[in-house]
């Protein structure tokens, strides 16, 4: 749901959140994040190193922490520790250009540093396992999510720019007042759930509705609106998943919240503690549906125990990955047998990657291929993963206007056959 923004490598992101959504005492990770920024500004590398070491398990798998740790260790003359952090960063498969950064000047004479520079260069090599299924008819649709109706055996797509749900051939299935983001079918009750919200990328949407968001249910055959669930908070009901029983789990990605809509209910109930998630994305259920995995664009992947009877015992548990695994920038997350599938569009490069459930191993499935652009979400159909390629978010500015000189964006559906 959220998009690939250019953020400085050396600065951990400053998150502008409404005070109404934060607890009186900011969570420890937010305090440390502010302290890290202050240490960077002051060039206090000893302070930065100590803060980052405490922050690392609170933002597990965040590659900016690895980068900043390497820089601070190098500045402090800790050659081996700096190289170790850079080795872990290179192992993520991400791309970083170390050459312009004088923080690493002390490392440049070493052959180990030269080898790492070469490793980051190799990370630019495309990884191609997906095949193109079909292009999506119509330019500049900004398709965000894809759903599969097993009864009619057809795909449905959400369009942010046109505030509608469509088929890959461009035909309209349903329309909404605001941009359409996530889609989840409920074949048992014959419904298609959709999250909607005003964003300026939608030319025909009313700007007076800025800040409004809702959850809609459409008839899965006709597209007729069946139900509307109001959001208990302003912002963006963005991503969701559905249980076999029909319970919905929905994330609010601008201010940070996770909700459940029990089957047959008309009110969303909050599952998380305010301040825990800065930007939660597509939640995924464990095979037994007792655990909800929540990817956060900044913090990594958290697990919520759905068997807990109250909020006080339903604490988010942040999963700790191996040192060379990056978990930030995940937009779509899915559980497939004994692994996670993740669409990461907040990393360089954007990619589709598979992690073991214990987060000790990874396999990059698609990255850097022509036409991949910024992928968003996908859907699992048995052992095939179908995902949206080249969504086009990066062709728009922060005000929702198409960037000057950018060509019309044609999006596509790609297919990954999983072992």
162 is written with which tokens? 């046109």
Say if residue 91 is in the same domain as residue 141.
no
Q: Does 368 fall in a domain?
A: yes
Q: Distance (Å, rounded) from C-alpha 174 to C-alpha 157?
A: 10
DSSP 115-167: HHHHHHHHTTS-EE--EEEEEPSSSS--EEEEEEETTTTEEEEEETTTTEEE-
What's the pLDDT at 95? 98
Say if residue 46 is in the same domain as residue 157.
no
Edge to edge, the sheet with strand 164-166 lists 143-149, 154-159, 164-166, 172-175
Say if residue 45 is in the same domain as residue 132.
no
Say if residue 241 is in the same domain as residue 133.
yes
Say if residue 97 is in the same domain as residue 158.
no
Q: Does 264 fall in a domain?
A: yes
Query: For position 205, which CATH number holds?
Result: 2.120.10.30
Provide the pairing of β-strand 248-252 with 257-261: antiparallel
Q: SS3 for 379?
A: strand
Q: Distance (Å, rounded) from C-alpha 292 to C-alpha 303?
A: 6
What's the pLDDT at 315? 87
316 is written with which tokens? 């988010």
Say if residue 144 is in the same domain as residue 238.
yes
Q: Does 1 fall in a domain?
A: no
Q: What is the pLDDT of residues 292-320, one digit of tens each?
A: 999 999 999 999 999 987 666 678 999 99
Say if residue 217 is in the same domain as residue 239.
yes
- Comparing CA positions, the residue from 54, 48, 87 lying closest to residue 69 is 48
Q: Which residues contact 233 (CB under 8 A, 6 or more apart)?
A: 21, 252, 255, 257
Q: Does 10 fall in a domain?
A: no
Domain span at residue 397 reads 128-417
Q: What is the pLDDT of residues 230-255, one digit of tens each?
A: 999 989 999 999 999 999 999 999 99
Say if residue 49 is in the same domain as residue 189.
no
20 is written with which tokens? 């109404």
Q: Distance (Å, rounded) from C-alpha 290 to C-alpha 247?
A: 12
What's the pLDDT at 415? 98
Count of structural domains, the chain:
2
Say if residue 364 is in the same domain as residue 253.
yes
Q: Does 58 fall in a domain?
A: yes
Q: What is the pLDDT of residues 65-84, one digit of tens each?
A: 999 999 999 999 999 999 99
Say if residue 167 is in the same domain as residue 288.
yes
Query: For position 26, which CATH number holds?
Result: 1.25.40
């Amino acid at each position: 749901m959220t998009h690939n923004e250019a953020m400085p490598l050396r600065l951990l992101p400053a998150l502008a959140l409404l005070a109404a959504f934060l607890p009186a005492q900011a969570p420890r990770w937010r305090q440390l994040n502010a302290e890290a920024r202050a240490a960077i500004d002051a060039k206090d590398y000893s302070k930065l190193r100590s803060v980052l070491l405490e922050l690392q398990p609170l933002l597990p798998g965040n590659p900016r922490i690895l980068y900043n740790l390497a820089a601070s260790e190098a500045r402090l003359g800790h050659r081996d520790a700096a190289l170790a952090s850079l080795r872990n960063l290179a192992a993520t498969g991400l791309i970083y250009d170390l050459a312009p950064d004088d923080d690493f000047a002390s490392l440049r004479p070493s052959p180990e540093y030269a080898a790492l520079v070469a490793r980051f260069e190799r990370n630019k090599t495309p990884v191609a396992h997906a095949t193109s299924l079909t292009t999506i008819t119509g330019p500049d649709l900004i398709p965000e999510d894809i759903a599969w109706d097993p009864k009619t055996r057809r795909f449905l797509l959400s369009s942010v720019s046109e505030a509608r749900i469509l088929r890959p051939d461009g035909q309209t299935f349903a329309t909404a007042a605001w941009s359409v983001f996530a889609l989840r079918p409920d074949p048992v009750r014959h419904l298609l759930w959709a999250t909607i919200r005003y964003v300026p990328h939608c030319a025909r949407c009313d700007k007076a509705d800025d800040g409004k968001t809702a959850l809609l249910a459409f008839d899965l055959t006709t597209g007729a609106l069946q139900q509307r669930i109001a959001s208990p908070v302003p912002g963006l009901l963005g991503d969701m998943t559905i249980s076999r029983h029909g319970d919905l789990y929905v994330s609010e990605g601008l201010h940070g919240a996770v909700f459940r809509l029990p089957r047959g209910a008309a009110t969303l109930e909050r599952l998380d503690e305010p301040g825990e998630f800065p930007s939660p994305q597509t939640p995924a259920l464990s095979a037994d549906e007792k655990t909800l995995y929540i990817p956060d664009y900044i913090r990594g992947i958290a697990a919520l125990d759905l068997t807990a009877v109250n909020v006080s015992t339903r604490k988010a548990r942040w999963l700790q990955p191996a040192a060379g695994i990056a978990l930030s920038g995940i937009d779509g997350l899915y559980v497939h047998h004994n692994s996670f599938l993740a669409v990461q569009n907040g990393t360089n490069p954007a990619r589709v990657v598979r992690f073991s459930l214990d987060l000790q191993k990874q396999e990059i499935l698609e990255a850097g291929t022509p036409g991949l652009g910024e992928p968003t979400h996908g859907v699992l159909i048995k052992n095939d993963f179908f995902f949206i390629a080249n969504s086009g978010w990066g062709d728009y500015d922060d005000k929702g206007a198409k960037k000057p000189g950018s060509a019309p964006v044609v999006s596509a559906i790609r297919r990954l056959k999983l072992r």
